[in-house]
Amino acid sequence: MNVAIYSRTPLAAAPLELWKNLCRYTDIKTRLINNTNRYSDGRSFPFDLMAGSPEAEAFIDSADIIHIHNYLLPPLEERLRLGDKQSRTMAQFHSLPRMGEWTRLWNFTPNRFTIRQPLQMEEYKIPDLPNMIDPDEYRPNRRTIGAPIRIAFAPTTKAAIGHPASKGYAEVKEVLDKVARIRAVEIVWIEGMGYEDNLKKKATADILIDDVITGNFHRTSLEGACFACAVLNACRKFPWIYTTIKTLEAELIELIDHAPALRLHQEITRAWIECEWHPIEQTKEYEAAYKRILNDTH
């Protein structure tokens, strides 16, 4: 089976990690095709093929399934219609709030999925598939005994609280500045850098703050679990430490002052992602979805 994975933007590496793990754990022949591999804020991501290249267009033409993330641009829509691939197109929606021309993809195919994150599942109300990451690729660093506790935060937007995409940029910074004044900790502020450098910094953290505003969790939480961080977010799901912006300072002080509790949370997150969120099993869900779409067209 040939699967072309297309994404206009990097989507925080979700399509990239899906492609890598399908290559690693299945017999599916797949290529990742992006229109761009960077954002205007400086974040950049590895890529496979760029849209419009002869190799990308040839693979789309030969693919059994076209897996499109978030947006269908008019040139690709025309190519798929001319190639009679509409029935073999699969859509996967990630963004909150829904932005841009998302309805073009929604209306193009009935084979619709969202990403397995609580607020996306609530918003789209369609079948979900996992946000892939491999804990066998991303492993914890050895921690130095006696070193200051490192607290990392990786905001992807400066949107103010009240905006659906807000991560409380200014408010979290205020809390972290205060904690750094009253405890011997190191703050690791991560923004505007390449994907690999971003992950290297997260891997050095003891505590990783994801989203303490919206009630969702994101790839940051999954990355933190891979690196055996204690992960804080406002999502009432195991194994995260439920934290809001109002309780963030107290939760951080509790973890800083109680090393056994911190170590327990670190061990729990790592064990959870190894056992409950491993791509060996999760790639089977994507493979089954692709096969159902193919069977429905025959």
Two tokens, residue 192: 């505007």
Mean pLDDT of the chain: 96
Given a contact cutoff of 8 angstroms between Cβ atoms, the answer to whether 105 and 91 are in contact is yes
How does pLDDT run across 129-146, given as a tens digit for each residue? 999 999 999 999 988 888
Give pLDDT, residue 70: 96
CB atoms within 10 A of CB 198: 23
Give pLDDT, residue 94: 96
Given a contact cutoff of 8 angstroms between Cβ atoms, the answer to whether 135 and 269 are in contact is no
Q: To the nearest whole percent, how much of the chain has pLDDT over 70?
A: 100
Give pLDDT, residue 298: 66
Polymer length of the chain: 298
What CA–CA distance (Å, rounded) separates 80 from 89? 8
Q: What angle do CA 250, 240, 191 make, to 5 degrees?
A: 80
Grouping H, G, I as helix, E, B as strand and the rest as coil, residue 88 is helix
Query: Which of these ranges, 109-113, 158-162, 268-272, has the smallest mean pLDDT?
Result: 158-162
Whole-number Cα distances in Å, 39 to 101, 157, 191: 18, 11, 11
How does pLDDT run across 197-254, given as a tens digit for each residue? 999 999 999 999 999 999 999 999 999 999 999 999 999 999 999 999 999 999 999 9
What domains are there in the chain, each with its CATH number?
2-134+279-296 (3.40.50.2000), 149-276 (3.40.50.2000)
pTM (2 d.p.) = 0.96
Given a contact cutoff of 8 angstroms between Cβ atoms, the answer to whether 271 and 265 are in contact is no
